[in-house]
């Protein structure tokens, strides 16, 4: 920053400029410490000073006091897409009207052509007489938030799935192009109208809106819509209400067109009626039911399913053997069928047999009516789906386990503390293993296991079992331990009784490791005896691995941040050197003390700052360090860059490597000649500091060394919704604080408390404040301890940045992305399943081959789609992850002798390249095995995605007989598809044959396409 003028104003303006500059003058060190860009102008708009962060965002350093640089240091400034003059800037408006401007957003263009978006907060400044003497502007970059809003709007408008937003009263607020195209309406004919106008069944839309107002989500709700051309569109609606301040403000709806499927079901129903006379010989259970629900006639298969003869079944009610949980829905649908509201319905339910066992059955009930439409009887067709249900339940369990593991892995990347890691892990353990309780225990410094987090465990139980461990603290390769039935376990009676008294029927001990080192364990508790499956064991070990990684990452991050913060925020010069006296590190205080920048001295001898007559000191210092001695408060003299000498106090300690060997020395140097001068500067600037803090349009407060609030500005009062009590309130201006997950944050553990207790700045922490009226505000604090000349904490300063709007935008974007990913994935899985089923049933070899090829392509696309949505960045994907996922999917469709070897360079590509690349890989690999493999020996295909000569090359190579591209192009639809996809990507497709066959797709400057250059 510069607060000294680079050019002086002239004539009569000079005296006004100097007066305003003096009134608004601030401490250079203080302004540089502020975590926001800031500058000040006098009453005529001339720039008085600015900090380095402002110059960084502008991309330039304006001339202080120059009339050509009035109001703003930007090269060019745009609002509402229009470039504005300097006298149109927000600063000019504030100086003209004396009205503050808060939250205005503008685009700043830099001299190099780049630009950013920034939000400004400007307040006018008056002297004691009320005269305007200038204004102060605090601004910060909002480029990411601005782009996120535009991306979200574009995503909604151009999504492939039909989307619309409906207000609480049914008015359509917004609809995308897919929705309008499905129904054939223009936007003006649809948006702004009531959704009731387009639904053919008013009871359906009324039910949907009632559920959404009651905060009940709607999933795949069937409905009928009236298209503009008069046709009826059968759709499935998935929706959930948007709530704010405990009230519904609207709903977001995903609409899937299933008209073709509805028509097919109608035709199938007609066929079933015509075939009813042959039901006796069908492989499914068939019965005729009267209006009272009693069996009139049954076929042989139904008798077999019920394990009862026909004469005993006839006369029974269809609801007698139905499980109580399923009766209500079956009875309700049957009554609607009798009343003529529906002709047919299907249900899956459980039915009891005479011997007490039960089976799952899929029931389809169809009406038979006379020519006048009167109900005669219903035909119910039943299929035994018990085995399918068992498989489905097992599959659902595996999916839940994997989903819990994925959520844990994803959320751990955003954890900010060990407490976050523990809570996320406990959630995942109970979700994946479906246990009722859980806990995490870690070894302390004395190698004793201690509870660090738990769910639903009593104090007495924890006190009784804490410290118990099935493994030694230094045990190598510890294995999980499972106790399926506590009552039958070989445990000491006192311990067994303690566990049983807690209501625990089974438990699992899972070791938590990191790099082979045992950190502790997590426990899974079940209320009833429980047999652990192999799948649960695999998931438990995966959870333990992620937990160990998360714990060590947070510990390492905390230690690194703590160390860097101490060194960089230290008021003392901290320097490290090798045993040869070569400087290896040089902090900012060393730059200020000795005048050398770090880049000027790192790699050079420490002798550069030692006067010639004190060289013997360095020899003695190095001798002491090599023997492991510490030098404490050595008062000596050193030489600055400008040649002047400075009296300092040195503390020197040996630096050791991981094996304990001395590899260098660490020096702490303190300037003892300016100690008193520094104290004087602090006292004289105190009043000036408070004046500046009052003028800054951000919530700022200060505390003493004990955390008692000593000062706050008006912005802090507005933020907290209350007036803090000086000398009484401690740590924060807000009475209640929470972590982002809603967990209460004790005031003595808040960021300001940690900053003062640990003598370090705290950055990157997100907190939620609750005002006295109950409203909550997410914000990011910037607490910084204030030290005296001796490095002692004398107080702290904190600035609170409100991030409410950013959090709302991030939440909406993630919800939409997750919903779209779920829908696309389900549709791909359904399509792949339908194609596979059709291929198995086909009697035509040619048709079966076409369907199998299509299945492989869908599988490759699904693998690519998983990679796209598994990444945090929604615009590009990782090459290694992409290649592994697609090759794994292709390999599953190949014979057992087929092997795929893959190799990819580190890098990223834009999302629009994913699907073409996935299809190309599938076609080339499938073609290689189809024409090169014999089935007798293992056949290997090598797939690579590498950077070559400034571009990216996808290659598929095998040892098969090869082919000549021009000769096979016309008869191979797969190769024509590859060439078309290559043209779509702007790539070159080549084939070379020799000892090996190599197909290559070369991309030119793909890194630029991904926005990486």
Spatial distance between the Cα atoms of 954 and 375, rounded to a whole number of angstroms: 65
Q: What DSSP string runs through 13-47?
A: HHHHHHHHHHHT---HHHHHHSSSEEEEEETT--E
State how far the Cα of 608 lies from the Cα of 589, in Å rounded to an integer: 17
* CB-based contact 240:217 (threshold 8 Å): yes
Under 8 Å CB-to-CB from 63, ≥6 apart: which residues? 6, 7, 47, 69
pLDDT of residue 563: 61
Q: How far is CA 407 from CA 369, 404, 414, 524, 685, in A?
A: 52, 5, 11, 18, 51
Residue 942's contacts (CB-CB under 8 Å, 6 or more residues apart) are 900, 901, 902, 903, 955, 956, 957, 958
Cα–Cα distance measured from residue 983 to residue 976, given in angstroms and rounded to the nearest whole number: 11
Burial class (CB in 10 A: 0-12, 13-18, 19+), 69: buried
User: Is-contact 468 481, C-beta < 8 A?
Assistant: no
829 is written with which tokens? 């899985």
Dist. CA 555–CA 547, nearest whole Å: 12
CB 827 within 8 A of CB 258: no
Radius of gyration of the chain (CA): 37
HSE toward the beta carbon, residue 833, CA cutoff 13 A: 6
Burial tier of 383 (Cβ tally within 10 Å: 0-12, 13-18, 19+): middle
- For strand 939-948 and strand 951-958, is the pairing parallel, antiparallel, or unpaired? antiparallel
Phi-psi sector, 764: left (phi>0), alpha (psi -120 to 50), beta: left
pLDDT along the chain (1013 residues), means of 10: 36 44 72 90 94 93 91 92 92 94 92 93 92 93 80 72 83 86 88 88 86 83 90 88 60 83 76 60 78 85 79 81 76 87 86 77 87 87 79 70 75 82 90 90 87 91 86 87 90 89 92 86 92 85 86 74 64 86 89 90 90 87 87 86 88 82 85 63 64 73 89 86 88 88 89 90 88 88 87 88 73 63 62 65 68 70 70 70 82 80 84 81 81 70 83 84 69 76 84 82 59 37
Would you put residue 759 in left (φ > 0), alpha (ψ -120 to 50) or beta? Answer: left
pTM of structure: 0.31
The CA-CA-CA angle for residues 104, 108, 109, to 5°, reads 160
Query: What DSSP string describes 179-190?
Result: HHHHHT--HHHH
Q: Distance (Å, rounded) from C-alpha 384 to C-alpha 51?
A: 76
Exposure b/e, 955-978, CB count within 10 A at least 16 = b: bbbbebebbeeeeeeeebebbebb
User: Cα 124 to chain center, whole Å?
Assistant: 40
Q: Which one, of 403, 459, 465, lies nearest residue 434 by Cα?
A: 403
Closest CA to 288 of 382, 419, 153: 382
Neighbouring residues of 631: CB distance < 8 A, sequence distance ≥ 6: 621, 624, 650, 651, 652, 653
What are the residues whose beta carbons fall under 8 Å from the beta carbon of 738, sequence distance 6 or more?
A: 744, 745, 767, 768, 769, 770, 776
pLDDT at 15: 40
State the Cα angle at 957 between 953 and 963, rounded to 5°.
110
Q: Describe the strand order of the beta sheet including 172-175 as a list of residue ranges.
A: 172-175, 162-166, 247-257, 232-244, 218-226
């Amino acid at each position: 920053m510069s607060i000294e003028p680079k050019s002086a104003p002239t004539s009569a303006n000079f005296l006004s400029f100097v007066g305003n500059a003096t009134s608004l003058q601030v401490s250079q060190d203080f302004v540089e410490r502020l975590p926001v860009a800031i500058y000040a102008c006098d009453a005529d708009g001339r720039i008085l000073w600015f900090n380095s962060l402002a110059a960084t965002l502008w991309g330039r350093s304006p001339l202080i006091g120059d009339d050509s640089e009035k109001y703003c240091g930007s090269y060019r400034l745009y609002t509402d897409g229009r470039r504005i003059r300097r006298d149109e800037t927000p600063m000019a408006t504030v100086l003209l009207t004396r009205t503050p401007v808060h939250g205005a957003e503008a685009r700043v263009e830099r001299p190099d052509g780049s630009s950013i978006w920034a939000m400004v907060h400007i307040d006018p400044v008056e002297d004691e007489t009320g005269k305007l003497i200038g204004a102060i502007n605090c601004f910060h970059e909002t480029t990411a938030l601005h782009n996120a809003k535009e991306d979200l709007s574009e995503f909604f408008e151009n999504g492939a799935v039909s989307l619309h937003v409906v207000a609480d009263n049914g008015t359509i607020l917004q609809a995308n192009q897919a929705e309008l195209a499905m129904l054939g309406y223009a936007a003006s004919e649809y948006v702004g109208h009531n959704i009731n106008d387009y639904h053919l069944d008013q009871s359906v839309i009324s039910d949907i809106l009632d559920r959404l107002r009651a905060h009940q989500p709607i999933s795949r709700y069937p409905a009928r819509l009236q298209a503009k051309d008069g046709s009826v569109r059968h759709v499935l609606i998935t929706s959930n209400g948007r709530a704010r301040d405990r009230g519904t403000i609207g709903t977001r709806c995903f609409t899937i067109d299933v008209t073709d499927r509805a028509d097919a079901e109608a035709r199938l129903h007609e066929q079933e009626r015509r075939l009813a006379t042959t039901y006796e010989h069908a492989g499914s259970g068939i019965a005729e039911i009267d209006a009272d629900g009693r069996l009139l006639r049954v076929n042989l298969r139904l008798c077999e399913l019920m394990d009862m003869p026909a004469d005993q079944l006839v006369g029974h009610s269809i609801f007698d053997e139905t499980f109580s949980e399923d009766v209500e829905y079956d009875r309700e649908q049957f009554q609607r069928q009798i009343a003529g509201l529906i002709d047919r319905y299907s249900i899956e339910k459980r039915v009891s047999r005479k011997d007490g066992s039960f089976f799952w059955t899929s029931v389809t009930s169809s009406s038979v009516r006379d020519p006048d439409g009167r109900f005669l009887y219903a035909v119910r067709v039943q299929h035994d789906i018990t085995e399918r249900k068992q498989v489905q339940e097992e599959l659902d369990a595996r999916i839940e386990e994997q989903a819990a593991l994925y959520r844990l892995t994803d959320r751990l990347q955003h954890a900010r503390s060990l407490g976050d890691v523990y809570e996320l892990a406990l959630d995942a353990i109970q979700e994946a293993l479906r246990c009722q309780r859980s806990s995490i225990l870690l070894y302390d410094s004395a190698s004793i296991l201690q509870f660090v987090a738990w769910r639903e465990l009593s104090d007495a139980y924890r006190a009784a079992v804490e410290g118990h461990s099935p493994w030694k603290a230094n045990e190598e390769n510890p294995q999980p331990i499972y106790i399926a039935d506590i009552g039958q376990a070989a445990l000491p009676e006192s311990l067994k009784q303690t566990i049983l008294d807690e209501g625990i029927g089974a438990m699992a001990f899972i070791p938590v490791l990191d790099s082979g080192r045992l950190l502790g364990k997590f426990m899974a508790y079940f209320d009833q005896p429980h047999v652990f499956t192999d799948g649960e064991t695999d998931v438990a070990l995966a959870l333990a691995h992620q937990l160990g990684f998360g714990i060590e990452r947070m510990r390492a991050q905390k230690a690194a941040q703590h160390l860097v913060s101490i060194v960089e925020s230290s008021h003392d010069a901290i320097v490290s050197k090798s045993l040869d006296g070569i400087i290896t590190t040089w902090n900012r205080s060393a730059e200020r003390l000795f005048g050398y920048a770090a880049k000027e001295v790192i790699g050079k001898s420490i002798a550069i700052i030692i006067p010639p007559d004190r060289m013997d000191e360095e020899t003695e210092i190095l001798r002491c360090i090599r023997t492991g001695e510490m030098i404490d408060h050595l008062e000596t003299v050193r030489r600055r860059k400008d040649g002047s000498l400075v009296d300092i106090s040195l503390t020197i300690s040996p630096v050791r490597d991981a094996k304990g060997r001395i590899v260098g020395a660490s020096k702490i140097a303190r300037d003892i000649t300016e100690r008193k001068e520094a104290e004087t500067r602090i006292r004289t600037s105190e009043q000036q500091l408070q004046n500046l803090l009052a003028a800054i349009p951000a919530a700022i407060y200060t505390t003493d060394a004990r955390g008692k609030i000593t000062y706050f500005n008006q912005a802090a009062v507005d933020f907290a919704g209350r007036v803090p009590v000086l000398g009484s309130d401690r740590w924060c201006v807000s009475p209640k604080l929470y972590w982002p997950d809603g967990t209460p944050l004790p005031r003595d553990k808040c960021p300001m408390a940690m900053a003062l207790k640990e003598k370090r700045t705290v950055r990157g922490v997100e907190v939620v404040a609750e005002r006295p009226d109950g409203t909550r505000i997410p914000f990011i604090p910037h607490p910084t301890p204030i030290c005296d000349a001796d490095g002692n904490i004398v107080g702290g300063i904190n600035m609170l940045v409100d991030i409410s709007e950013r959090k709302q935008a991030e939440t909406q974007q993630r919800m939409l992305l997750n919903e779209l990913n779920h829908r696309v994935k389900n549709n791909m899985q359904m399509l792949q399943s339908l194609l596979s089923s059709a291929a198995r049933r086909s009697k035509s070899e040619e048709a079966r081959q076409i369907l199998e090829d299509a299945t492989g392509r869908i599988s490759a696309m699904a693998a690519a789609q998983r990679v796209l949505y598994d990444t945090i960045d929604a615009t590009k994907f990782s090459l290694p992850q992409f290649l592994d996922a697609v090759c794994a999917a292709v390999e599953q469709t190949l014979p057992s002798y087929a092997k795929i070897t893959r190799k990819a360079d580190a890098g990223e590509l834009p999302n629009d390249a994913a699907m073409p690349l996935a299809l190309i890989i599938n076609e080339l690999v499938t073609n290689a095995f189809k024409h090169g493999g014999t089935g007798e020996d293992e056949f290997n295909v090598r797939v690579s995605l590498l950077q070559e000569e400034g571009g990216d090359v996808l290659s598929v190579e095998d040892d098969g007989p090869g082919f000549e591209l021009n000769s096979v192009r016309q008869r191979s639809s797969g190769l024509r598809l590859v060439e078309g996809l290559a043209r779509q990507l702007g790539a070159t497709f080549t084939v070379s044959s020799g000892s090996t066959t190599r197909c290559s797709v070369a991309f030119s400057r793909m890194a630029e396409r991904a926005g990486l250059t």
